[in-house]
Amino acid sequence: DAGVIQSPRHEVTEMGQEVTLRCKPISGHDYLFWYRQTMMRGLELLIYFNNNVPIDDSGMPEDRFSAKMPNASFSTLKIQPSEPRDSAVYFCASSWTANEKLFFGSGTQLSVL
């Protein structure tokens, strides 16, 4: 298996633009997580899905952020409109269970100018 695949690896955009981050989890994993990593706040859980259903989105910072999982092999995290404070590395991870071994993608480095 190729592991968790995220795209793009790097995204540079201007404030106010829409940003869409993509994730393909490992086949067979029932759980998918979106994390944000910054120097100030470390790794923060934004949202996670179980069998394509959002279970906990309490970490989503505000209404500008939305996440979807239309099927078991694809998820998106969208920011609209983007702001400079959204600049961070966004990680997608998947696993067989909610709280055991997570497999992380390589992340998307987002810069909002």
Which CB, 81 or 87, lies closer to another protein?
Answer: 87
Name the minimum Å distance from CB 106 to another protein: 5
Dihedral class, residue 16 (left if φ above 0, else alpha if ψ from -120 to 50, else beta): left
Q: 60-87: string of b/e by CB count within 10 Å (b at 16+)?
A: beeeebebebeebeebebebeebeeebb
The helix/strand/coil state of 39 is coil
> For another protein, which is the closer residue by CB, 67 or 102?
102
Binding residues for another protein (CB under 8 A)? 4, 42-43, 45, 48, 56, 91, 93, 98-107
Closer by beta carbon to another protein, 45 or else 72: 45
Question: Residue 55 Cβ, how far from another protein at the closest point, in Å?
Answer: 9
